[in-house]
Structure 1
Amino acid sequence: MNDTRTLALIDDLLAASSETSCVESNALIHQDMTITGAGPSIELFSNRLEITNPGKPLVSPNRFIDSPPRSRNEALAAFMRRMKLCEEQGTGIDKVVAAVELYQLPPPDFRAQEGGIEATCAVLFAPRRFAAMTVEERVRACYQHAVLKFVNGGLMKNSSLRTRLGIDTRNAAQVSQVIRRARDRQLIKIADPERPQSGYVPFWA
């Protein structure tokens, strides 16, 4: 995919994080102001976009999609909402993941950075086909898809994950392999044990 198309996708992903704000505003809202000598960092590489914010995440990174909104700086968040620089609804991550799935991109990587200055890091990746994704990325995509389906009142199915990953119907067995790995890691589970074909939900559901 050419650089112009990649930049266009990144623009869409950033827009998805908030319909009315720039991503820098969102980073400021979640910054840990008690940490000195560091601030939000947004770095654009040829194959990824990295957003790093000082401070440990208030919730576990693997619960970013479903957790109720929590603001580290409530007064600042309220002010920016009045200035129409953010929504203060806590749905930014959901929208980003939904946009990633729409374009069948590698899943975002949300992680807590330890050692030295504690920080929260979010990485958005440039387009890559399923065959070029790592095992970790495939499993992470499966988990995020299950979470997104669940918070929107649905269940993850083999067919929905196949569509999300851009896998051809002829290679449907690859989807089953990804689901099996996600289950082995206890990230997802069968929605109804008495109906194995019912679909899948996140481990915490």
Structure 2
Amino acid sequence: MYWKTLLIKQNKHHRYGVLGHTLKVIFGAIKDKKYKFIVAGLLHDIGKPTVAFQKPEDIILGEYSFTDHEEVSYQMIKNWKFINNWTKNIVRYHYTIRDIEKCRRKGDKVVFETEIYQLPAPIFRSTNEYTISILSAHKELKEMDRQDKIRATYMHSVLRYLQSNYMTNTSLRERFGIDAKNTAMVSRIIKETLEENKISIYDESVGTRARTYVPSWSK
């Protein structure tokens, strides 16, 4: 199964095996002059053949399924010192990045309206055939746990980035509906999200008050 998925076939969503698909991604990056993505393209499916399996319907169709291959790929390379963190994050989140970009291109309102109505950030779960978006009812900030806040902060930074903008303390405060006098609360949430390596400071040379933030995979 490992060699077959690596060299010959995956499923209806991929024309080639993992190796052929990887070469196609690299060629696309070179063609589009997105040279920064070449190493990430080379490694983004490195763990995919190791998690290949067949569901009953796959056996009938002669296809394969893959579960959490992006996380497996990341775990394989996370301690490689010669690969920078940006590349590692692209590998780890390439499905999430793809799904959010699809929402932006299609004008999908789901992701954007979680911001407008201050809902907890959606959770994306991708399979070979579809993407599941898990939405939650409105929560006051005090009802959100640490991971809720970090996920919402990360998603806010992604949406700002895709709109050619940056996340700031003010933009996040407005996203959470926090009063202007409670900026310290926002700073704590940003600090926790930075510690989780979900976002990065765009320009570390500026003062704390003027700092802007981007998704960690964008630097």
**Fold conserved between structures, TM > 0.5:** yes
Runs of 5+ consecutive residues of structure 2 not aligned to the other structure? 1-11, 14-53, 59-64, 71-92
2:112 aligned to which of 98, 110, 123? 98
Gaps of 5+ in 1: 1-30, 39-53, 70-86
Is the contact made by 1:109 and 1:123 (CA closer than 8 Å) also made in structure 2?
yes
The one-letter code sitting in structure 2 at the alignment partner of 1:108 is P
**2:163 match:** 152
Query: After the TM superposition, which parts of structure 1 deviate over 6 Å for at least 4 consecutive aligned residues?
Result: none
Question: Which residues in structure 2 correspond to 1:58-137 (within 5 Å)?
Answer: 60-64=94-98, 66-67=100-101, 69=102, 89-92=105-108, 95-112=109-126, 120-137=131-148
Question: CA separation of 1:60/1:164 partners in 2, compared to 1, >3 Å: closer, same or farther?
Answer: same
Max radius of gyration: which structure?
Answer: 2
Greater length-normalized contact order (CA 8 Å, ≥ 6 residues apart): 1
CA shift, 1:119, in A, is 7.3
Q: How many residues align?
A: 137
% identical aligned pairs: 32
Deviation at 1:98, TM superposition (A): 1.1
Q: CA deviation at 1:145?
A: 0.3
Aligned to 1:204: 217
- The reply to whether residue 177 of structure 1 matches residue 191 of structure 2 is no
What is the Cα deviation at residue 65 of structure 1?
A: 5.2
Aligned residue for 1:201, secondary structure, equals: strand
Q: Is the contact made by 1:109 and 1:124 (CA closer than 8 Å) also made in structure 2?
A: yes
CA distance in 1, matches of 2:104, 2:155: 22
- Is the Cα contact below 8 Å between 1:188 and 1:201 reproduced in 2? yes
Label 1:91 to 1:35 Cα distance change in 2 as closer, same or farther (>3 A): farther
Residues 141-190 of structure 1: CA deviation (Å, up to 9, x unaligned): 00000010011011101011011011122322111111001101111111
User: How far 1:111 sits from its partner (Å)?
Assistant: 2.8
The 3-state SS of whatever aligns with 1:172 is: helix
CA-to-aligned-CA distance 1:1-57 (integer Å, 9 cap, x gap): xxxxxxxxxxxxxxxxxxxxxxxxxxxxxx97x96569xxxxxxxxxxxxxxx9758
Q: CA deviation at 1:66?
A: 4.7
- In terms of fraction of residues, the more helix-rich structure is 2
Q: Do the aligned partners of residues 178 and 55 (structure 1) sit closer, same or farther apart at CA in structure 2, a change above 3 Å counting? A: same
1:48 alignment counterpart: none
Q: Please state whether the residue corresponding to 2:135 is helix, strand or coil.
A: strand
More strand by share: 1
CA contact 1:108–1:124 (8 Å) conserved in 2 = yes
TM-score (norm 1): 0.56
Please report the TM-score for the alignment, with normalisation by the length of structure 2: 0.52
Quickly say closer, same or farther: Cα 1:66–1:111, change in 2 above 3 A. closer
Q: Distance in 2 between matches of 1:129 and 1:182?
A: 19
Q: CA deviation at 1:132?
A: 0.2
Judging changes above 3 Å, is the alpha-carbon distance between structure 1 residues 154 and 65 closer, same or farther for their aligned structure 2 residues?
farther
**2:123, 2:156 → 1: CA distance?**
13
